[in-house]
Amino acid sequence: EPEVTQTPSHQVTQMGQEVILRCVPISNHLYFYWYRQILGQKVEFLVSFYNNEISEKSEIFDDQFSVERPDGSNFTLKIRSTKLEDSAMYFCASSQLLGQGEKLFFGSGTQLSVL
């Protein structure tokens, strides 16, 4: 089965530094997402992306966050100035279509640790 690929699997950074989390969605998918899970808490929606622009974003996705599809294959999440509370597992996902019952394919996640 095709996979969503995320790199790196673990990222350690100092508070205030910029980080870029990378994802390669499934090639024929059109909708892309970022989710995060802080340790012990729920998986939370951050942002969705379609046709080279943000479709929806949550309250978590403030001005410190941005997403980009710099080429035909990568989908990135940038955090401009990391805070301790940004430490979490970040999941990328993609789907072919948009719909209430549509299946999302998830990557294995990037564990971000902000020190």
Enumerate binding residues for another protein (CB under 8 A). 3-4, 6, 31, 33, 35, 37, 40-45, 48, 50, 55-56, 58, 91, 93, 98-109
DSSP 104: P
In the complex, what is the shortest distance from the CB of residue 16 to another protein, in angstroms, rounded to a whole number? 29
Q: How far apart are CA 50 and CA 82, in angstroms?
A: 25
In the complex, what is the shortest distance from the CB of residue 49 to another protein, in angstroms, rounded to a whole number? 8
Residue 36: count other Cβ atoms within 10 Å of its Cβ: 24
DSSP 56: E
Q: Which is nearer to another protein, 10 or 78 (CB)?
A: 10
